[in-house]
Amino acid sequence: MNYLMRRLATFPLVLLGVSILVFVAIRMVPGDSITAMLGTEAGLLTPAQRDSLAAYFGIDQPWFVQYWRWIGGILHGNFGISVTYGRPVLDVILERFPLTLELALLSMIIALAVGMPAGIYAATHSEKPSDLGVRVVAMVGQSTPSFVLGLLIIYTLSAGFGVLPAMGEFAPLWQDPLRNLSQLILPAITLGFAFAASVTRIARSAMLDVLSDDYVRTARSKGASARSVIWRHALPNALIPVVTLSGIEFGYLLGGAVIVEQIYALPGLGRMVLDAILQRDYALVQGSVLFIAFNFMIVNLLVDLAYVGLDPRIRLGEQ
Amino acid sequence: MIGHLTRTLLSGITVAAMLGVAAVSTQAATLHMAWSQDATGLDPHKQTAFSSLRLLELIYEPLVRVDASLRIIPAIATSWEFSKDGKELTFKLDPKAKFQDGTAVTSADVKASFERILDEKTGAAARANFLSIASIDTPDPAAVVFHLSQPDVPILTAMSDVNAAIVPASEIKAGSVGTKAVGSGPFKLDKWDPNAKEVLSANKDWAGGATGVDGIEISVLPDEAAILAAMRTKQIDFALLNDPLVATLVPKEAGLQLNRVPVLAYNVLQLNPSRKPMTELKVRQAISCAIDRQEVLDTAALGEGKVTGPLTIPALATDPSQLFCYKRDLDKAKKLMAEAGLADGFSATVIGATGEPPTAAAEAQVIQSQLAEIGVKLDIKMMELNVYVDAWLKGDFDMAIALNGGRADPYTMYNRYWTKTGNLQKVANYIDDTLDSLMQKGRAETDPAKRKAIFAEFEKHLAEVSPWIWLYTSYSYTAQQKTVAGFVPTPTGTLFSLSKVTIQQ
């Protein structure tokens, strides 16, 4: 409990650091909301026109005033207004987040459902041709860029079979579950493919390590069945690196999968942040980066807590 | 690897099929459209992004329009007339013209709209084109008179732009232009989810008559290969394409048709004549002579476009072969470099924006290898678009690969660069008396034949002094199902003719 409280207490500090970093970083990039909107035509503005647009975009004040206003707003639950959407930043983020969360969960399910059995199988058949086969496939999976796989899937489906999930308008899960799944399954496979490959490799090597441990040998010599050795004795310990990897990957996916969202035209967080950066929608970039950082910290915390469940020897927060 | 990928793909197909993924058939009533870049805002006076203008042209109307041959045709105004001295421009408004909130379009709305554009606080994109307006009279609700401080013929063409759209005076007063779209055009905007989709429905009160479809749904599909895939499965009826690589694949698909038309925008290598050694005429001319424009077009853009001089307006453009050094002449280039005392060449940096145009990096590379032959060592620096725009506006470059927008009138198109008072003189960094006086003459001349002669001279001179090296105009591409009828592609890229397209079953 103590540990949990102490970890939670660090959250505001980390978020403060992130807020400063993102605030400074986005402003260090040349160009601003005005050039993003007008492009080269911004050169035709008179100084008065420019000032009036700067006031409209809220970039007429010195940076520390802007920062102070932004942070002050956040403390009151106000993340600012997105100039692109003309709506509160938090509303826009929360509208996009369910898709990103669902996509991340689906890809993780695919990755674990495929990667775990494959990894365990490879470890128990170590150095046999089937192990080699799994390792080669995993290597291919890890080295295939998601845009190649995504475009291949889209091309094969549309050119070869004349079918494709409806693109453009996204159906939320609670409105039309079937349509929603049909739109998300291919992106989830695209993301889950490389993810599954990493899980396979980690699961295999962790399992190999554990299988050579003394306690596993003892269990075997006591006559435990092969199945029981793997599932009851070895697997829980082999899971720790898999949980770590899945946690990190899942955390990344919660920040949005930009490339896959681009290819499949999914209105997720990743595309939203990318568009916001390109359009210099400062409030939206800042708000969403904070939101993503917060999610990442929560996932990390859950991963740490999961260790305790998996290995009773681990006591969090104790020296 | 291939076997594994095939298995993955097949399993994807199976899952997709199990989940009931199916081709969505085209509906007669609604045109399903896609583009890769969405509009960036709804204020017709402030937007300059290509997609914004294309969207707003369907919702708002200017006083006049240009047709496919860039002739002025009626929009809100049914007729117009310049006074003899060219200083008074009178419009008669269409009595049937109505805003989408049901109120009539009157001369008061026209006056309020132009006052908004001229107000510095608005930050209107096209303000510079209307500075000759001294005052606006509204003798009756259906007539508007613009009093000009000097003869200004191009102002009529400038008024055909959606940046000069007429918005309701009541919306200006309420400060809601840009948050609410109330125009008098063929379609109403029902929904806009930025970077995802737009839903438009037909405006039954439109003075231009009935539209061919009941509505248009625009989806933002950021990857153009995915747009093509969606067209194959008939989810999309009509799409805007930017990437020549994707566009050239369209004619290979049965059932799809590619429309292409050379645009007014031009791809150009901008030299910076304020930086040494580009300050020297002979160096600039040497660069012009060393560049093989057709090769740049063929290599960087797959030949999808045509070599152009400074003027891209079909009715006014000179045949490029008549212009200075449009046929590559390496000997002449080397001789000019030697005369400028630079027989060994020099080093310079060329900047370009990533993806804008998609061919920028390839153009820079071809030019790099061509200029290497006269000893010019080019260092290519590719930048994100906004970073590039920032450097470009400051004139902070030796050379820049640019895609600059065109206009239907040469004065409106170039007064920003090639007049002494041009707002973008610091980007162009070159002006001489000939260019300036020819621009002023062209502005005041009302006789079309004389105007053409003036601008031909302007173009010839500009190519000869070579502050920039004009390369080519590309095509604007739209792809459509063959069941879509009635779309007319134009050099301005406007999608206005979507108001009359029909979908055949």
Q: What is the 3-state secondary structure (H, E, C) of B289-316?
A: HHCCHHHHHHHHCCCCEEECCCCCCCCC
Mean pLDDT of A52-75: 86
Asked whether the predicted pLDDT for residue B1 surpasses 60, the reply is no
B21·A182 Cβ contact <8 A: yes
B424·A44 Cβ contact <8 A: yes
Residues of B in contact with A157 (CB under 8 A): 12-13, 16, 229
Dihedral over Cα of B80, B81, B86, B88: its sign: negative
Tens-digit pLDDT profile for residues A87-135: 899 999 998 999 999 999 999 999 999 999 999 999 988 889 999 999 9
Element (H, E) at B238: strand B238-241
Cα distance between residue A101 and residue A180, in whole Å: 13
Mean pLDDT of B339-366: 91
Cα distance between residue A130 and residue A220, in whole Å: 23
Q: Are A215 and A160 a contacting pair, CB within 8 Å? A: no
Residues of A in contact with B222 (CB under 8 A): 262-263, 265, 271
Residues of B in contact with A46 (CB under 8 A): 120, 127
Query: Poorest-confidence range of A44-58, B63-77, B104-118, B269-283?
Result: A44-58
Q: At B14, is the pLDDT very low, low, confident or very high (cuts 50, 70, 90)?
A: very low
Q: Identity (one letter) of the amino acid at A14?
A: V
Cα distance between residue B338 and residue B348, in whole Å: 18
A36·B386 Cβ contact <8 A: yes
Tens-digit pLDDT profile for residues B161-219: 999 999 999 999 999 998 889 999 999 999 998 888 899 999 999 999 999 999 999 99
Q: Which residues pair with B98 in a beta bridge?
A: B104
A263·B226 Cβ contact <8 A: yes
Cα distance between residue A65 and residue B269, in whole Å: 41
B13·A156 Cβ contact <8 A: yes
A40·B46 Cβ contact <8 A: no
Dihedral over Cα of B406, B411, B415, B418: its sign: positive
Q: Which of B41, B226, B424 faces A37 most closely, judged by CB atoms?
A: B41
Q: What is the 3-state secondary structure (H, E, C) of chain A?
A: CHHHHHHHHHHHHHHHHHHHHHHHHHHHCCCCHHHHHHHHHHHHCCHHHHHHHHHHHCCCCCHHHHHHHHHHHHHCCCCCEECCCCEEHHHHHHHHHHHHHHHHHHHHHHHHHHHHHHHHHHHHCCCCHHHHHHHHHHHHHHHCCHHHHHHHHHHHHHHHHCCCCCCCCCCCCCCCHHHHHHHHHHHHHHHHHHHHHHHHHHHHHHHHHHHCCHHHHHHHHCCCCHHHHHHHHHHHHHHHHHHHHHHHHHHHHHCCCHHHHHHCCCCCHHHHHHHHHHCCCHHHHHHHHHHHHHHHHHHHHHHHHHHHHHCCCCCCCCC
Q: Which residues pair with B199 in a beta bridge?
A: B191, B217
Cα distance between residue A111 and residue B265, in whole Å: 48
Residues of B in contact with A154 (CB under 8 A): 225-226, 229
Q: Which of B38, B221, B232 faces A158 most closely, judged by CB atoms?
A: B232
Q: At A317, is the pLDDT very low, low, confident or very high (cuts 50, 70, 90)?
A: low
Peptide bond into B357 cis (omega under 30): yes
More confident residue, B88 or A227: B88
Q: What six digits make up the tokens of B178? A: 């840009």
Q: Are B312 and B268 a contacting pair, CB within 8 Å? A: no
Q: Are A34 and A42 a contacting pair, CB within 8 Å? A: yes
Cα distance between residue B61 and residue B165, in whole Å: 5
**Residues in CB range of A152: below 8 A, 6 or more apart:** B5, B9
Q: Identity (one letter) of the amino acid at A283?
A: A
How buried is residue B207: exposed, middle or buried, by Cβ count under 10 Å (0-12/13-18/19+)? buried
Give me the total of CB pairs closer than 8 Å, taking one residue from chain A and one from chain B. Answer: 203
Cα distance between residue B474 and residue B146, in whole Å: 36
Task: For chain A, give the mean pLDDT.
Answer: 87
Residues of B in contact with A31 (CB under 8 A): 384-387, 389-390
Asked whether the predicted pLDDT for residue B149 surpasses 70, the reply is yes
Question: HSE of A147 in the Cβ direction (CA atoms, 13 Å)?
Answer: 9
The DSSP code sequence of B123-138 is: --TTGGGGTTEEEEEE
Cα distance between residue B44 and residue B54, in whole Å: 10
Tens-digit pLDDT profile for residues A137-185: 999 998 988 889 998 998 888 888 877 787 777 888 888 888 888 889 9
Task: For chain B, give the mean pLDDT.
Answer: 89
The gap from C-alpha B311 to its chain's centroid, in whole angstroms, comes to: 14
Q: Which of B8, B128, B233 faces A44 most closely, judged by CB atoms?
A: B128
* Chain A residue whose CA is closest to B42: A84
B9·A48 Cβ contact <8 A: no
B127·A44 Cβ contact <8 A: yes
Neighbour count for residue A172 (Cβ, 10 Å): 13
Kindly provide the b/e burial profile for residues B465-496, where b requires at least 16 CB atoms within 10 angstroms of the residue's own CB: bbbbbbbbbbbbbbbbbeebeebebbbbbbbb
* Chain A residue whose CA is closest to B126: A44
ipTM of the complex: 0.78
In this prediction, what percent of chain A has a pLDDT beyond 70? 98
**Residues in CB range of B136: below 8 A, 6 or more apart:** B110, B111, B114, B115, B144, B145, B146, B147
* Chain A residue whose CA is closest to B12: A186
| Distance (Å) of CA B116 to CA B122, B151, B166, B292 | 6, 22, 10, 46
A49·B34 Cβ contact <8 A: no
Q: Which residues pair with B379 in a beta bridge?
A: B349
Q: What is the 3-state secondary structure (H, E, C) of B348-390?
A: EEEEEECCCCCCHHHHHHHHHHHHHCCCEEEEEEEECHHHHHH
* Chain A residue whose CA is closest to B354: A278
Neighbour count for residue B239 (Cβ, 10 Å): 27
A39·B19 Cβ contact <8 A: no
A164·B229 Cβ contact <8 A: yes
Distance from CA of A215 to the nearest CA of B (A): 37
Closest C-alpha to A317, from A9, A2, A14: A2
Residues of B in contact with A41 (CB under 8 A): 48, 125, 405
Residues of B in contact with A158 (CB under 8 A): 228-230, 232-233
How buried is residue A155: exposed, middle or buried, by Cβ count under 10 Å (0-12/13-18/19+)? middle
Closest C-alpha to A212, from A197, A190, A234: A234
Residues of A in contact with B236 (CB under 8 A): 168
The DSSP code sequence of B102-113 is: SPBP-HHHHHHH
For position B468, what pLDDT does the model report? 96
Residues of B in contact with A163 (CB under 8 A): 13, 16-17, 21-23, 233
For position A164, what pLDDT does the model report? 79
Residues of B in contact with A164 (CB under 8 A): 21, 23, 229-230, 232-233, 235
A159·B427 Cβ contact <8 A: no
Q: Which of B121, B193, B392 faces A52 most closely, judged by CB atoms?
A: B121
A156·B9 Cβ contact <8 A: yes
Tens-digit pLDDT profile for residues A185-206: 999 999 999 999 999 999 999 9
Q: Which of B13, B21, B393 faces A40 most closely, judged by CB atoms?
A: B393
Q: What phi and psi, each to the nearest 5 degrees, are found at residue B198?
A: -125, 140
Cα distance between residue B229 and residue B269, in whole Å: 34
